[in-house]
Structure 1
Amino acid sequence: MKLVWSAETASKAYIDTVKLCENHQESGPAELVSAMVAGWNARLIVETWSSGGVAATSIGLAVASHHTGGRHVCVVPDEQSRSEYLAAVEGAGVAAAEVIVGDPEEALDGVVGIDFMVVDCRWSDFARTLRLAKLSDRGAVLVCKNASSRAAREEPFRWRSVLDGGSRRLVRSVFLPVGKGLDIAHVATSGAGGSERGKLNRWIKHVDRQSGEETVIRK
C-alpha cells in the first residue's frame, strides 16, 4: 500500500483551518500541515506539544483528523502542558486529540501505524521521538516544525540520522520557510511492500518428473 493524495479533502481541511486560525501568529504552517494530513488521508496522526507552544498547528491537525476520521494523538511531557493544550484547542471549538503524558518511549509504546507525525524542534527529545515512532506499512510523512529555531541550529539535524535503513527509507525531504520553518520528509517503510518485492525477485526451479527437463522462472 502507499499514501494516496486527495486534493478535495486537502482543500476542505485547509479552508476550515484558515477560518479557525486567523487570529494565531503561526497560522501559515497550521493550514499547510492540515491540508497535507487530510490530503494524504492519514489514519493515525501524532504530534508533540509542550507548555508555551503555539496551538495553531494542533488545531489544524484536529481539523484534518475530523475530515479523515483518523485517530489524533498528542504527546506532552507533563500535566501543565496537557492542561494548556486542551484549553487552547478546545477553546478554538475543535475536538482535542487523545493526550498522552510522559516520556516518548513510554508514550509511543502502543501507538502503532503512524501515517503523519509532527514534532517540535524546540523539544529536546524531538529526534529521539522520531526514532521511536512506529510508522505505517504504507509509509508516512514526518514534519519538524520550528526547524529554524536556535535549538535546532545548534546541533544540525539530518533525516538520515533518525531513520534506520533496515525498515525505513527516505523517499524525499524538503525544508519550507513557512512560519519558523518546516522540515518535511516522506518515508517509505519495508512492511508489506518490502515482502512483496522479495516475492517478485524470487527464482523458482521446476523439474518435470517425466522428461527430466528443468525450467527456471521468476515469481
Structure 2
Amino acid sequence: MKWSPQDAMKAYLHTLQLCKTHFNDQYCTLGTRNLIQPHWMEFISALAAGNQAKLMVQITSDQGITPLTIALAVAAKRTKARFICILHQLQDIEDCKAQLSCYNLKDVAEFVHGNPCEVIMGFKNIDFAVIDCKFEDYMRLFKIIDMNPRGSIVVVSNLERRRNGTSFGEVIKGRKGVECVTRSIGEGMELTRIGLSCKSQKKSYKRFHVTFES
C-alpha cells in the first residue's frame, strides 16, 4: 500500500470538520453524542485514505451506522474506494443511508444485511477492514477474511467484548514477521498491518495494539 500524505491529511481534516460542525446536532449524533469520539475517527479516516485503500469493509453489530462508518465513508469518498458496510443485526438500510446523507456522504457506502461470515466470503483482497468484537463469531471472521496480501490493514474495535481475549493480531502473531507496538490513545482498538517483506517477498505482518483512554 503506497502511502499518500495528501489523501491522509484531507481525510483527517474532513473528518475533523464533521466533528466540529455536525456532532452537536441532535439528528446527526447517531442517537447519542457519547458515541462520538473524534480523535480516533480522524485517525482511522486518515489511515484508510493515506494507505489508498480501494476496497474497505466494516462489520458492525450496532444498530445503524457507527462513528467508524463515518470515518471510513470520508476516506472512501476521498480515494473513490468501494466501501461495504455489513450489518449483522436487522436494520433499515434506507435509514442507514439517510444517516450518512446527514454528513454529506450519500451513496458512499454499500450496506449489506446478513451473516458477516457468509457475506465476507464474497469479497477478496480487502485493503482495509474494521471488525467489531461485539459480533459473536468474530474469531471465525479473523480466520476467513481475505485481506490483500500485498498491503492491507485490519482494525478490531471493542476489544473489551472479546470472550477469550483473542484478537486478530494474536491469531496471526505466530506467522513470520509479526511486530507489536503499543500506543495509548483511548478505548480498546487493535490495528494489524499486512504486507510484503521487501527482502523475502513473503507475507509479513505488523501488529499495532492501540489502547484508547477515556
2:17 aligned with 1:6: no
CA–CA distance in structure 2, aligned partners of residues 54 and 70 of structure 1: 18
How big is the shift at 1:9? 1.0
CA–CA distance in structure 1, aligned partners of residues 103 and 3 of structure 2: 27
**CA spacing shift, 1:174–1:44, aligned 2, 3 Å:** farther
> So what's the TM-score if we normalise by structure 2?
0.75
> So what's the TM-score if we normalise by structure 1?
0.73
How big is the shift at 1:47? 0.7
- Unaligned ranges ≥5, structure 2: 24-32, 204-214
Equivalence for 1:70: 81
Equivalence for 2:195: 188
How big is the shift at 1:101? 1.2
Bigger Cα Rg: 1
Q: Percent identity?
A: 30
CA–CA distance in structure 2, aligned partners of residues 100 and 93 of structure 1: 20
Q: Deviations over 1:43-73 (max 9, x none)?
A: 1111112334662211110110111111111
CA contact 1:77–1:102 (8 Å) conserved in 2: yes
How big is the shift at 1:119? 1.1
Question: What is the root-mean-square deviation of aligned Cα atoms in Å?
Answer: 2.7
CA–CA distance in structure 2, aligned partners of residues 33 and 26 of structure 1: 11
Equivalenced residues, count:
186
**CA spacing shift, 1:140–1:169, aligned 2, 3 Å:** farther
Match of 2:99 among 88, 113, 120: 88
CA–CA distance in structure 2, aligned partners of residues 145 and 74 of structure 1: 15
Q: Deviations over 1:116-151 (max 9, x none)?
A: 11111222223322222111131211111222x3x2
CA contact 2:150–2:194 (8 Å) conserved in 1: no
75-84 or 116-125: which moved more? Answer: 75-84
- The 3-state SS of whatever aligns with 1:185 is strand
80-89 or 70-79: which moved more? Answer: 80-89
Equivalence for 1:59: 70
CA–CA distance in structure 2, aligned partners of residues 52 and 86 of structure 1: 13
